[in-house]
Structure 1
Amino acid sequence: MMSELFNVAREKIGSENLKSLMEEKVFAISGDISYENLGIKNSKLREEMHKEIDIIINSAAVTNFYERYDIAMNVNVVGAMNVLKFAKSCIKLKMLLHVSTAYVCGKAIGILPEKPFDMGETLSENTYLDIDVERGVIANKLKELETLNATPKEVTIAMKELGMQRARLHGWPNIYSFTKAMGEMILGHLKENSQVVIIRPTIITSTYKEPFPGWIEGVR
């Protein structure tokens, strides 16, 4: 609330009124999509959420192009699956909106149709993408590194290299686009009757007009 993003509202209705409005409309809950039940341990709170939530927007993601493969897998793939599983328990759910990325299309050029990925589909010829196999590759590599008593730095380097190897094997240029594509596959494969919408923005930029031009946060 202290962000300059709220300055316009603060000037219009005053700081105290804005605070009251936020407390009435927004209920912040700490969680982590890489865990089952989104890391929410309070069962009564989960039950209340399952009864009340009607729209879920999942924009949580690891966006570093060269993140550790295990971390990117846990958030961008397993995380998407956990959000979908949670969404299926929401009795009023109208839609799960999943924010993906245009980069899932890899290095393709020209007009690209908004076609969902089939499970196992890749951008490379003669390869099949099995997500369970990928998770097994990660687990085996981590076990190998543990056996070798690898340092945290060595583990990080090894997992980044592994991710790049697997991404390029299947036709993606980096770990980010590779794992985001797998996240889409998981949703398409497991959604059943759930209303799932996937959007693929090209880039996140600053505000155009509202609440004022040029605002952006978290620039790398």
Structure 2
Amino acid sequence: MTFLEDRDLDGVPTIPEYYRGKTIFITGGTGFMGKVLLEKLLYSCSDLDRIYLLLRPKKGVKPENRLAALYASPCYDRLRRERPGVFESKVYFVAGDCSEIGLGLSEEDRTLIVNRTQIIFHVAASVRFDDPLKVAANLNLRGTREMIELAKEVQNLECFVHVSTTYCNTNRDPIEEILYPPLADWRETLEICESLDDKTVNILSPKYLGEMPNTYVFTKQLAEHVVNEQRGKLPIVIIRPSVVISSYEEPMPGWIENFNGPVGILVASGKGILRTLYCNPVVTADYIPVDVAIRGFIAASWIRGTKKFEPMDDIPIYHSCASSLNQITTGEIFDVGHKIIATYPLDDIIMGGGGSITDSKFIYSTKVILLHVLPALLIDTLLWICGKKTMVLKIQRRIYSANCALAYYLTQQWSFSNQNFIYLRSKLKDEDKEQFYYEIKKIDRQEFYKHSCIGARRYLLKEKDEDLPKARAHYNRVMLFDKLITCLFYGCLLWWVLRSQFLSNVIDKFL
């Protein structure tokens, strides 16, 4: 346990009371977790003073337009319905970029944050596994350094929440809620990335990463040490979520806006474009619903913020993960997904929903050619003949690349301790449990993944619920066609065996 929980909380305010009148600064507010964090704070702690989001221009879209687009997200449907006007009156932006020196903040905006902020959530990160080391280091490592430099200037800082990942120490097993030795010197890493050209850094990267599988986890591990250097100087909390997936309850069941984790597998399989996956079917991956993770973020900030900071204070680390409380193997995800997709099929599926998983590289490669590449070539040829844009082979190339990038995680298993995370929720006051207690063990997996599939239809694929009867009819036709093709294939194979000399030779040998 950590020192933060071992204290009498009788006189401590509830979470909404603690947040009343507070000013919060959030990076990564337009990302998946950032959106849900923003929504939950506004919904359950509506008396907070204001929230500042660090926004950068993106693809020519100005920060003010990005803020408007953010509020238009379905993630805020509940907020618009039950807390009208809260977002518009409480949420502001400051223009900047985590990958830039000084966060790209103007002098005026920096002064604003320094003088007004009490709570900081550093959520922004580059989560792409295939980012070059320079790109990942700029955002995940230098960005964290720049956030710490800002936090050191903040006049009334009560809590700095740094979001890391449980997978930043995959060279170990089990993985505890402690800080492990750095994989490299973070200052030296930044100096290399800033002084050498891109080509040289890319050549050096594989050796430099060592045991780590990609630049994401490598730079996130080093970023924890940037934060840890402020132990005893700043009120910091480190939270390590595992694979963050669709919501369990809030802001609505099944909310999702990316294809990460099992949802991507279910969607690709349900569309008929994923027929095989390289994976160990008995491996248990660790998934955490996004709203469960966010409740933990807020609880951690509350318990740190309500304690007066002292130089002897440690930096608590929380694994926001399911651990042994609610496990599911990849094989079980496939089985559950097949049943759900049959009831809630996706629109315009290409092939019958299904697919299989294997931990044999030979079988996987063979199936990729037979079940992915050849059908994709056939469909793209038909699209080309019809004068339409070819796309299936391109999609299959992306699926193959994604499977290669994820193979490290899909074929291995780690044990994550989450004792601190579970103990933290036990310290919630009775008045806060309805809004902030995070359930893990009692989550019904069948019901959860059903909502995940429905959420994928609505929020990722933009498919309408009223089109479900049409989708079911199309699904039944495709499945019937799939069975006919399968019967025809095995029928032809049987006919060839019966007509071939091979069968006669076998019979003669044994008679």
Shift in alpha-carbon separation, 1:6–1:137, aligned structure 2, 3 A? closer
Q: Which amino acid aligns with 1:186?
A: V
Do structure 1's residue 215 and structure 2's residue 255 form an aligned pair? yes
**1 CA distance for matches of 2:170 and 2:127?**
15
1:87 to 144, 151, 171: 151
Shift in alpha-carbon separation, 1:88–1:101, aligned structure 2, 3 A? same
Shift in alpha-carbon separation, 1:197–1:12, aligned structure 2, 3 A? closer
Q: TM-score, normalised by structure 1?
A: 0.78
Do structure 1's residue 3 and structure 2's residue 73 form an aligned pair? yes
Q: Which amino acid aligns with 1:53?
A: T
SS at match of 1:28: strand
Give the structure with the larger strand fraction.
2
Question: What's the offset of the Cα at 1:161?
Answer: 4.9
1:173 to 199, 208, 213: 213
**2 CA distance for matches of 1:203 and 1:90?**
32
Does the 8 Å CA contact 1:66/1:164 hold for their aligned counterparts? no
Q: Which residue of 2 aligns with 1:131?
A: 186
Question: What's the offset of the Cα at 1:140?
Answer: 4.9
Question: What's the offset of the Cα at 1:61?
Answer: 0.5
Structure 1 unaligned spans of 5+: 123-128, 146-154
Q: TM-score, normalised by structure 2?
A: 0.35
Do structure 1's residue 196 and structure 2's residue 236 form an aligned pair? yes
**1 CA distance for matches of 2:124 and 2:212?**
21
Percent identity over paired residues: 27
Q: How does 1:26-41 map to 2 (within 5 A)?
A: 26-41=91-106
Question: What's the offset of the Cα at 1:139?
Answer: 4.1
Which structure: larger Rg? 2
Aligned structure 1 segments of 4 or more residues deviating by more than 6 angstroms: none
Does the 8 Å CA contact 1:117/1:185 hold for their aligned counterparts? no
Do structure 1's residue 185 and structure 2's residue 240 form an aligned pair? no
Question: What's the offset of the Cα at 1:36?
Answer: 3.0
Q: Deviations over 1:165-220 (max 9, x none)?
A: 3112xx22211111001101111124551011111111111111112100011335
Do structure 1's residue 67 and structure 2's residue 122 form an aligned pair? no
Does the 8 Å CA contact 1:31/1:39 hold for their aligned counterparts? yes
Q: What CA RMSD, in Å, does the superposition of the two structures yield over aligned residues?
A: 2.0
Shift in alpha-carbon separation, 1:191–1:12, aligned structure 2, 3 A? same
Question: What's the offset of the Cα at 1:93?
Answer: 0.5
Q: How does 1:88-167 map to 2 (within 5 A)?
A: 88-110=152-174, 112-118=175-181, 121-122=182-183, 129-142=184-197, 155=199, 159-167=201-209
Q: Which residue of 1 aligns with 2:108?
A: 44
SS at match of 2:229: helix
Shift in alpha-carbon separation, 1:132–1:193, aligned structure 2, 3 A? closer
**1 CA distance for matches of 2:195 and 2:151?**
31
Q: Which residue of 1 aligns with 2:90?
A: 25
**2 CA distance for matches of 1:44 and 1:205?**
37
Shift in alpha-carbon separation, 1:161–1:67, aligned structure 2, 3 A? farther
Q: Deviations over 1:102-130 (max 9, x none)?
A: 111114333x2211134xx33xxxxxx22
Structure 2 unaligned spans of 5+: 1-70, 261-511
Shift in alpha-carbon separation, 1:135–1:60, aligned structure 2, 3 A? same
Q: Which amino acid aligns with 1:9?
A: L
